[in-house]
Structure 1
Amino acid sequence: MDEDDFEFLPKSLRNKLLPFQRKGVQYAIGKQGRCLIGDEMGLGKTIQAISVAYYYRSEWPLLVVLPSSMKYPWIEELEKWLPCLQPNDINLINSSTDVSNISKAAVSLVGYGLMQSSFKTLLEALHERDFGVIIVDESHFLKNPKAVRTKTLIPLLTKAKRVLMLSGTPALARPAELYSQINCLSKGQFGSWTNFAKRYCDAKWKFFGRLKKWDTSGACNLAELHKKLTTSVMIRREKKEVLTELPPKRRQKVPFELSESKQTKELDALWSELRSYLNREAASEDGKDAGFEIRRLSMQLYISTGKAKIAAISEYVRMLLDNHDMKFLVFAHHKEILTAIVQTTQAYAREKESTLKYIRIDGDVPHIERMKEVNRFQQDPCVRVAALSIMAAGTGLTLTAASHVVFAELHWTPGVLEQCEDRAHRIGQHNAIHIHYLIAKGTIDEWMWSALNRKVSVLSSTLNGRVQQMNAEVLGEGVGIPKNATLLPSTLDDEEDDSFFFSQTPK
């Protein structure tokens, strides 16, 4: 397929594609429309997928599976680039009973949340429609083969002739997370799950205390896996390779001491209790009970650390506000911290008698309202602060008006943090992006930071073919974790633990 072959696209879409995006389209068509577009966030995977899907338009209907927060941005993109689509051609599935238009629409969009085995009416309607082309946006949502949505989607994907998976972070923490995606695209190419796990995940039976478990949280033969991925099912480009004019992204670790308070004393007590359970697990005494307590105490430490950091976070926000006209994003997990960021901004505006404004996007903000808030931040010079939930605002939003991104709290998964960073560092950004990670010394922050760097080195070897780090200074062990403790990866770092940890942590 050469440059002249792009005549099949509408003129506006054809003229919009950058050279590397055209190569992505060519790659996907060369793979008969079954591949993973794994370009870094912000490189325009959506427009490539729309182009490939349009190439196969004679095989439509088209199904787009996506996070709920991405439904309206996808509709906008489809209407923008494919003017041939009439309003009735696009069907947004909003509930498990919203099936009447599936049989008539050329394009249907469904959120991952509706892919549940209990929604039989919807699933039957999707299977009966016989979709010839399916786009799976943020395909790392299928990382867990045991998850209901994965089990529900795989039969649809296997049945379709063309399947395009899109993810800037196809594996968020470890090679095991790739298997469901790549095996679906190229059945048999990567062997059985057991063989894949042994070859690339360093899988083995392990005892954690008295509990015997098949551990696939490791990694091995990563250069071989990278080569196999890129020659069979995946195309991946990094920003620095294809967007030579995109300004740099600079990470800065901002360590600070917590002022002594009632909260810091609570943290000390929690650490002391946690160490005793880590020692017990390392000594294989009551391993199962110790593992449960380690989870509980780790969650409590995460909550308590966030609360203890509020004063320092507020002070940091005020410092950034002193830089007039600068726009910035602040990510956090807990609503209490997001509220503190908003209150700090409001108080600053009153003190300075300024027209300073902010936006806040968390799980309580309806998806359609989120886009309105994004537009306010992008267009109104008075809106300088965006208080954002790590999980609710980490994907699907373009916030290139910001030049600084602050992480008030961390997440166990490096891919999630990178997605948040790249709300600002993407096509359309003209300023250097400064990333600030606020790390409270002597807390779970240091522990998580070390774990993040270990995971980044594994993922970069797998996806990019070379070892990389977070490129920020990493402190030594400062919280007294026993060296023989098996907390990571066995207790908090196996396939389900990241999602478990954050689903169980009050927001």
Structure 2
Amino acid sequence: MLWRRLHSSAPSRLCRQPTRSKSLPAWVDALRRSLDNVTSTPLDASLCMPQLYPFQHTAVQFALSRGGRVLLGHEMGLGKTPIAVTVCAHYVHAEGPVLVVAPPVLLEQWAAEIVRWAPSVSPCEVQVIRKGSERPKDDAKFVLVSYAMLVGRRSTDERTNSHLRHTAQGEAYAVVVADEAHALKSHKSSRTSVVMPLLRQARRAVLMTGTPMANGCAADVYALVGALAKEAMPSYITWCKRYCQEQRQIFVSRRSIKRWVGVSRTHSAELHDILQRVMTRQRKEEVLTELPPKRRSRVALPLSAAELRHIKTSMENVAVSAEFPFDAPLPSVMAAFHASATAKARAVCEWLGEALFQGEKGNLAVSGKTLLFAHHHVMHDALALFFSSHLDEQQWIHVTGETRSGDRFERITRFQQDPSCRAAVLALSACSQGLNLAMADTVIFTELCWSPSELEQAEARAHRMGQTASQVSIYYLLVGGETFPLDSIMFKTLVKKSAASSNVLDGRPPSQDLRTSAIVPPPQR
């Protein structure tokens, strides 16, 4: 058996006593009191499926002790969905229906999980909203909708989809679940402005994310805490001034943009304390002691002189100092990011040819299944051409952000169930969250991104409950060094953000982060 049931997890936080300090601003104490002012719900053992693991059962207890207003922050791959469904099962028949908001790729998976973990709910009582014109059904116990569908085309007022934000009877939802809730980190986005009121007015609000601080910044959790606090929440500026490292000013197209970054070292422990009042969180190493090791490797890709010149030209207008907010959406940064994908595409495919096929087309030379993540169209196009020339169409799948939801579900299901389907080329932004791809034991990143949480989410598609391989191998294909600093700078930035997030969420540095990856040369023929 891959993992064993543990009879205890982290020390229980069901009866927290708020700490007081005379030096604290009044709003901090007020916020703590607001978060602690909840009415607990008794646990109904008959609603807890016996397949729940002890740490999942503990999380259900914590959520109910908070009256169903909770942040489920367990690391990716630890089964947050069964926890959320079990919590909702305590309320759905008396207070339902339940509104579940999630990325579109996860809606069908949610429908299956609800029926599995809440047997009192029949499949016909679970409604998946697939079109903006659909309306919630009178007999639906769970209504599943994507963030984009819930928001609609709000900027143009062409279609607001406001009818999806109420029950079939026109009432506010009393129970709301927000999956991958780090999607609400931008407090000014249309998504946040639509979903936040639903969470705040609901009696029960379950937020789910394995990466609450998606970008390693204290501002990331402002909306999450605010959704659960209801009142006593300070302004965004007040929050950021206390808990962020600093505010930086950048210029984009002659326009000044101020941006909060990092976490204040002085108040990191205080922020950790606030989160512990609403969040239940476990790490994999704490509860899945028999999960196979995760081995990260950084592959140094060789580029031709022409490819290096192409990248160096794109880097001329990019500031590369350690203090530069490198993930800022500057045109020069985005141009360099795209140029790196263009230049790396050939080298990436050459590496895949040797590492996966050993120079022979027709069949993967490695055992198991492989996930490949990419971001830019140019990289996706190169990978599609590569695999179409090396494998039959039934032996691999390709899912991008533009793949229709029905096709996406069919392809993912085929990869999960068909032993002959061995490789999956996936969009990092569209497929890094929620999917259970534990049948794969190799993960390859052809490109980096700006957020460490997105990389960790993608890794967790394979390194999760249900993984039976002896090791999960993860490869980051990079071009680094003095000749091409872009990947090197991005990697260092990701490491820094990951450490900041772990200190706040877990109260300690990460036990394993990107720095633990080994640097390996490309394979030689």
- What TM-score, normalized to structure 2? 0.79
Number of the residue aligned with 1:481:
none
CA 1:257/1:472 → structure 2, altered by over 3 Å: closer, same or farther? farther
Are residue 187 (structure 1) and residue 215 (structure 2) matched?
A: no
Distance in 2 separating the partners of 1:207 and 1:348: 45
Q: Are the aligned partners of 2:432 and 2:454 in contact in 1 as well (CA < 8 Å)?
A: yes
Q: 1:111 aligns with which of 123, 141, 146?
A: 146
CA RMSD of aligned residues (A): 2.9
Are residue 50 (structure 1) and residue 118 (structure 2) matched?
A: no
| Equivalent residue letter for 1:122 | H
CA 1:194/1:349 → structure 2, altered by over 3 Å: closer, same or farther? closer
Q: Are the aligned partners of 1:203 and 1:214 in contact in 2 as well (CA < 8 Å)?
A: no
Are residue 299 (structure 1) and residue 299 (structure 2) matched?
A: no
Distance in 1 separating the partners of 2:489 and 2:145: 38
Residue 75 of structure 2: SS of its match in structure 1? coil
Number of the residue aligned with 1:157:
199
Distance in 1 separating the partners of 2:72 and 2:488: 33
Structure with greater helix percent: 1
| Equivalent residue letter for 2:238 | N
Number of the residue aligned with 1:225:
271
| Equivalent residue letter for 1:314 | C
Runs (4+) of structure 1 exceeding 4 A deviation are 203-214, 291-294
Number of the residue aligned with 1:8:
46
CA 1:365/1:172 → structure 2, altered by over 3 Å: closer, same or farther? same
CA 1:195/1:368 → structure 2, altered by over 3 Å: closer, same or farther? same
Q: 2:284 aligns with which of 215, 239, 243?
A: 239
1:380 CA displacement? 2.8
Number of the residue aligned with 1:249:
294
Structure 2 runs not aligned, ≥5 long: 1-13, 15-41, 359-364, 520-525
1:82 CA displacement? 2.5
| Equivalent residue letter for 2:442 | H
1:368 CA displacement? 3.0
Per-residue CA distance 1:390-423 (angstroms, 9 max, x = gap) = 0121112211121111100010111111111111
Distance in 1 separating the partners of 2:466 and 2:250: 50
Identity level (%): 33
1:381 CA displacement? 2.9
Distance in 2 separating the partners of 1:292 and 1:444: 11
1:34 CA displacement? 0.3
Number of the residue aligned with 1:129:
171
> 1:337-376, aligned counterparts within 5 Å?
337-349=379-391, 357-376=395-414
CA 1:120/1:326 → structure 2, altered by over 3 Å: closer, same or farther? closer
Number of the residue aligned with 2:495:
453
Mean CA deviation greater in 427-436 or 149-158: 149-158
1:211 CA displacement? 7.1
Per-residue CA distance 1:13-39 (angstroms, 9 max, x = gap) = 511100000000000000111010000
Residue 415 of structure 1: SS of its match in structure 2? helix
CA 1:324/1:273 → structure 2, altered by over 3 Å: closer, same or farther? closer
Distance in 1 separating the partners of 2:382 and 2:296: 24
| Equivalent residue letter for 2:443 | V
- For this pair of structures, how many residues does the alignment match? 453
Residue 403 of structure 2: SS of its match in structure 1? coil
Residue 297 of structure 1: SS of its match in structure 2? helix
Mean CA deviation greater in 378-387 or 212-221: 212-221
Q: Are the aligned partners of 2:314 and 2:339 in contact in 1 as well (CA < 8 Å)?
A: no
Are residue 23 (structure 1) and residue 58 (structure 2) matched?
A: yes
Residue 170 of structure 1: SS of its match in structure 2? coil
| Equivalent residue letter for 2:275 | L
Per-residue CA distance 1:265-292 (angstroms, 9 max, x = gap) = 22222222335xx79x99xxxxxxxx99
1:203 CA displacement? 4.5
CA 1:225/1:20 → structure 2, altered by over 3 Å: closer, same or farther? same
Per-residue CA distance 1:199-244 (angstroms, 9 max, x = gap) = 21134585869977654213112122112211x1001101010111
Per-residue CA distance 1:83-102 (angstroms, 9 max, x = gap) = 3323442222233332252x
Mean CA deviation greater in 205-214 or 248-257: 205-214
Q: 2:474 aligns with which of 411, 417, 435?
A: 435
Number of the residue aligned with 1:409:
447
CA 1:130/1:349 → structure 2, altered by over 3 Å: closer, same or farther? closer
Q: Are the aligned partners of 2:135 and 2:164 in contact in 1 as well (CA < 8 Å)?
A: no
Residue 216 of structure 1: SS of its match in structure 2? strand
Q: Are the aligned partners of 1:8 and 1:55 in contact in 2 as well (CA < 8 Å)?
A: no
Q: Are the aligned partners of 1:96 and 1:122 in contact in 2 as well (CA < 8 Å)?
A: no
| Equivalent residue letter for 2:466 | G
Q: Are the aligned partners of 2:166 and 2:172 in contact in 1 as well (CA < 8 Å)?
A: no
1:379 CA displacement? 3.1
1:180 CA displacement? 0.6
Structure 1 runs not aligned, ≥5 long: 283-290, 476-507
Residue 372 of structure 2: SS of its match in structure 1? strand
| Equivalent residue letter for 1:315 | E
Distance in 2 separating the partners of 1:7 and 1:473: 43
1:337 CA displacement? 1.9
